[in-house]
A and B are shown apart, each in its own frame.
Chain A
Amino acid sequence: MSATTNILVCGIGGQGVMTATEILSEAAIAEGHDVKKTEVAGMSQRGGVVTSHLRFGARVLSPQIAPGAADLLLGCEAAEALRWAHYLKPGGLALVNDARLVPPVVELGLFQYPDDPIGEMRERGVRAVSFDAASLAEELGDLRLGNTVMLGAIADQLPFSADVLLDCVVKRFARKGEAMVEANRLAFAAGRAAAQAATPATA
C-alpha cells in the first residue's frame, strides 16, 4: 500500500457508516497514524446516500479521497458499492454487503435497481468480495451486529493486525456489558471468515 491508506465506506443513512468509519479511525490512531475522516456531508435524515472517507498515514493533508485513489471500498449496500466503485484505484478491493435496500423512487417505478450490482462491479474490473452481513448478524441474534460483521470483513486488508481493529470494537461495546462484547466478537469473526472465504486471488 502507498504511504497513505485510503478507505471509502459507503451505504445509506441509518446503516451506521459513520460509526464503522469511526472505529476504523480509532484503530489507525492506536497504530500511531495521523487520521482524517469525513463525516456525513449534508442532511441528517435517513435513507439518503452516505459516504465517509478515511485516510491515514504519517501525515494526512486533504481529507478527501480522489476518484481512482481508494485502496479499499467498504460497501454496506450493494448498489451503493457500485455507485462508488470508481473511487477504487486499479487493483483496489471492494468488500460488499450484498444487501439490496430499495428506495421509494424505485418502488414508485421511476428508476430501476440494477439486477446484479456486484456482478456489474466485477464486469467493470473491480475486485469485489461479497457476503450477506445481515444474515450473519441475524444468525447471531441481532441485525445491528451487521456493522461489526463489515468491520470483520475488512480486518485482514488493513496495514495492521486485525486484532487492533477488534480491540477497538470491543472497547466501543465494553460499556454495554459482556454479552454485547461477546456478540460483537462473534460478529467480527463471522465477517472475517466470510470475507476470507470469498476473497479472490490478488489481480
Chain B
Amino acid sequence: MAAVMPAPASSRLLMSGNEAVARAVWEAGTKVAAGYPGTPATEMMEQLAGYPDLYTEWSVNEKVSLEVAFGASMMGSRAFCAMKHVGLNVASDALMTLTLTGVEGGLVIAVADDVGMSSSQNEQDSRFWGRFAHVPVLEPADSQEAHDMALEAFALSERFQVPVILRLTSRICHVKGLVTVGERVELQPAGFAKNPERWVMVPGHAKRRIPLMHAREQALREHSDASPLNAIEPGSDRRLGFITSGPAWMHVREAFPDAPVLKLGLSYPVPLAKVAEFAGMADTLLVVEEVEPLLEAELKAAGFKVHGKDFLPRSGELAPEVLQPAVARLSSGEQPPPPESAAALPPLFPRPPTLCASCPHMGVYYALSQIRNLTISGDIGCYTLGAGHPWNSLDSTISMGASMGVALGMDKGRGEADKNRKILAVIGDSTFMHMGMQGLLDITWNRGNVTVLLLDNRAVGMTGGQNTPANGRDIRGNEAPRIDFRKLVEALGVKPERIHEVDPYQLPVLFKTVRDETKVDDVSVVITNRPCVLIEDFTPFTPYVVLDDKCTGCGNCIDVGCPAIHVTRRETVVKPSGKEVALAFTRIDTAACTGCGLCVQPCAPEAIVHYKPAGRVIPVVPA
C-alpha cells in the first residue's frame, strides 16, 4: 500500500468516525499504532496504514497490540491501539496491570462497541473497563468529536500518565460526517528511563503503585468536573432533563431539542459536582446511555434521583424512535401509538450474508453436511456462516479460538450417549493465530481426540480480507515472513502423519480425508489451502453453465450453498412407489460464477459444464 498524502490542515472532509480517529492519531505525532481487525473497529488501523511517518501493524491479537503500544509508550513515544469490544477482553490482562505502571508517551486505546450487534457474538459495554482499570473514558458523539477527543485523549494520557479509553460505537465508527482536520505535530520521544519499581510489576512494586493509581483517579475526578467535555446545555422545557453520552446525545438532541441536557464527553470518572449543578435545572432526570445502566447506578449511589433503564431498553441503540415512546411513558404513564408511516412492515424472506461464490469454506461445509454423527465446535470468522443454511454444520461458536478448548471439553466430557460421536473443530488461519494455537497445544498435550479443520484462506475474511501471517504480507502489503502451518501444528505436538493439506475444491479428497481422520483416535489437523476470493491471491476460473436439457432437477447443486446457483423452475413428480419428489431445475449466474467446480461434483447427469472451453480450470482429483 502506498502512503497517502494526508489532506492539508483546516480541510473539511467527509469522514467516518474511524477515519477521523486515524487522522487524529496521525496528527498527534503518534509513533506506533497496532490493532487486530474487528467490526466496527477495523478501519481505524486500515486508514492509519495509509499515513506516512508512523509505524503500524496488524498484531496477531488485541493483547499483543496493547503490549506493543505500551512498549512504545515506555520509550516516551505516543502510541495507539484499536480493537472491537471483545478484543479488549483479550487485551484486558495487559490493561489491568499497565494501569498500575501508568504510561510515559500518551497511550490511547480505541475500543468500538457493536451496539445493536450487527456483527458480533455479544453486546458489551466497554465503559466498564474505565471503572475496572481506573482509567478515563472519552465518548465522542460524531466524527468531528471522534477526531477532537482522540487528540484530547493523548493530552490527557500524558498529563495524568494514564492509558485512556476512547469508547466508540458502530454509530461513530460507521457514520460519516464533516470533519475539520488539523496539523500534525512532530514529537521527539523523551527516551527510556530505567525504573524497575515502576515498570517491573512484582507484588512489592505493585503494592506501592496502587495508592498512586487511586490518587490519579481522584485527580481525574476533579478534572472531569472542570472539563469542557462535560457540558450543561440549558433548555427551555425543564420538565425533563437528560444525562447522556456518546451518540445517544445526538439522538436526545434530535428528539428533544428544547430539553436541558448534560452531555458527558469525559464520562468516567463521572463529574458528580456537574451532575449536582445540572440536577437543579430539570424537574425529572433521565439517563440515556448505551447500553448498560452504568451512569444510572453510579448517580443513584451518589444520591441522585434519576430514571434510566426502568423506561429505556437494556440493549441496542437508543435512536429517537426508541426514546420518544419511552419518554412519553415516563411523562404520562401511557404507551403512545406507533408513528405514522407510509407502509407497514411486510413479512419478507431473510437475506443473511452468504459465503461468496467459490469461497473455499463452501466445499468444507458441503463435505461436513454429508457426513453423519459429527459434533462440530466452530469459531469466529466467515466460516461461522457454516452454522446456517444449507449446511447447518456448526454446533457452537463462542469466542476467538474457542473451537479448540470447547472441542477438547466435548471429547473429555462425553458420556455413554456420545461415545460414537466424532468431535471436530473448525477454525480459520487468522483466528488460529489469534488465540487458537494455545488451544491446539492443550489438545495435543492432554491427548484429546479431535479432528481440527484449519481453514487457511490467507486472510481475515470477515472484516474485508486483511493480511495475516498466513499470506506473507504486512498491514501495508509489504512482503513479510509467511507462517508454515504444517510445521507450526507439528511443533504443537500433532503427529506428522496426522497432518493433511487438502484442496477444498476437491470434494472427494476432502470428504475422504475428513472421514478417515475422524475414525483415528488421535488429534488430526486438516489444512485447506485455497485463498479467500476477495483477496489478490485469488484468480477466477472459467465459469460454468447448466445444460437445461440435461438437468434432471435433483437439486444436488443447490445443497452446495453457492449464491451463483438459481432455481429456474420447480416441479413435483410422483415416483412409481407413490412417493412425491420435489424437483428444482437450476441455472448458474455466469457473471457471478468464478469456476470453483464444487457444484459440478455432486451433479450426477453431468449437466454442469464450462461456459466456454479452455481458460483456467480445476481438474477434479479422485479420492
Contact = CB atoms under 8 A, between A and B. Distances in A.
A143 B591 contact: yes
B265 to A, nearest CB: 16
Given A25-B176, A102-B566, A62 B319 contact: yes
Given A42-B39, A43-B118, A107-B558, A125 B342 contact: yes
Interface stretch (A46-54, A154-162, A179-187): A46-54
Nearest to B561: A104
- Greatest chain B CB density within 10 A among A85, A103, A113, A125 is at A103
Contact of A88 (B254, B343, B461): B343
A125 B343 CA distance: 7
Interface in B227-265: 247, 250-251, 253-255
A79 B463 CA distance: 26
Contact of B462 (A36, A43, A80, A107): A43
A40 B174 contact: yes
Given A64-B320, A114-B348, A39 B353 contact: no
B349 A89 contact: no
Contact of B349 (A46, A113, A120): A113
A103 B354 contact: yes
A59 B250 CA distance: 11
Interface string B465-483: 0000000000000000000
Nearest to B464: A44
Nearest to B16: A39
Interface string B127-171: 000000000000000100000000000000000000000000011
A112 B320 contact: no
Contacts of B385: 45
Given A83-B348, A103-B351, A107-B558, A126 B343 contact: yes
B256 to A, nearest CB: 11
A38 interface: yes
> Of residues A47, A68, A120, which shows the largest number of chain B Cβ atoms within 10 Å of its Cβ?
A47
B320 A89 contact: no
B14 A107 contact: no
Contacts of B351: 12, 47-49, 80, 103, 105
Contacts of B16: 39
A108 B178 contact: no
B563 A104 contact: yes
A54 to B, nearest CB: 9
Contacts of B320: 62, 64, 66
Interface in B247-302: 247, 250-251, 253-255
Interface string B368-387: 00000000000000100100
B346 A82 contact: yes
Interface residues of B, number: 63
B341 interface: yes
A61 B319 CA distance: 11
Given A90-B342, A105-B389, A111-B350, A35 B464 contact: no
A89 B350 CA distance: 24
B584 A63 contact: no
A168 to B, nearest CB: 12
B350 A39 contact: no
A29 B348 contact: no
B352 interface: yes
A192 interface: no
B340 A68 contact: yes
Given A26-B14, A79-B349, A41 B342 contact: no
B175 A108 contact: no
Nearest to A44: B464
Interface in A98-118: 102-114
B118 A111 contact: no
Contact of A104 (B344, B390, B582): B390
Contact of B346 (A91, A124, A143): A124
Nearest to A66: B321
A41 B175 CA distance: 9
Contact of A25 (B14, B170, B559, B570): B14
A89 B346 contact: no
Nearest to A54: B176
A132 interface: no
B341 A45 contact: no
Contacts of A111: 349-350
A89 B340 CA distance: 8
Contacts of B177: 34-37, 60, 63
Given A37-B176, A38-B174, A111-B350, A126 B119 contact: no
B563 A66 contact: no
B389 A62 contact: no
Interface in B166-224: 170-171, 174-178
B142 A126 contact: no
Contacts of B573: none
Contact of B321 (A67, A80, A110): A67
Most buried by A among B40, B346, B565: B346
A187 to B, nearest CB: 18
B356 A104 contact: no
A112 B320 CA distance: 33
Nearest to B119: A42
A92 interface: yes
Contacts of B171: 38, 63-64
A150 B320 CA distance: 29
Contacts of A13: 353
Contacts of B339: 66-69
Given A35-B176, A68-B340, A45 B353 contact: yes
B116 interface: yes
B342 A85 contact: yes
Interface of B: 14, 16, 39-40, 116, 118-119, 142, 170-171, 174-178, 247, 250-251, 253-255, 317, 319-321, 339-346, 348-356, 382, 385, 389-390, 461-464, 558-559, 561-563, 565-567, 570, 582, 584, 586, 591
Given A63-B177, A67-B339, A88-B341, 12 more contacts: A35-B177, A38-B175, A39-B16, A39-B176, A60-B177, A66-B319, A79-B348, A102-B566, A104-B389, A124-B343, A125-B343, A126-B342
12 contacts: A22-B176, A29-B178, A38-B171, A43-B118, A43-B353, A61-B253, A62-B253, A62-B255, A64-B320, A68-B340, A79-B348, A121-B343
Interface of A: 12-13, 22, 25-26, 29, 34-49, 60-64, 66-69, 79-80, 82-83, 85-92, 102-114, 120-121, 124-126, 143
Closest 4 CB pairs of A and B: A68-B341, A42-B118, A111-B349, A48-B353
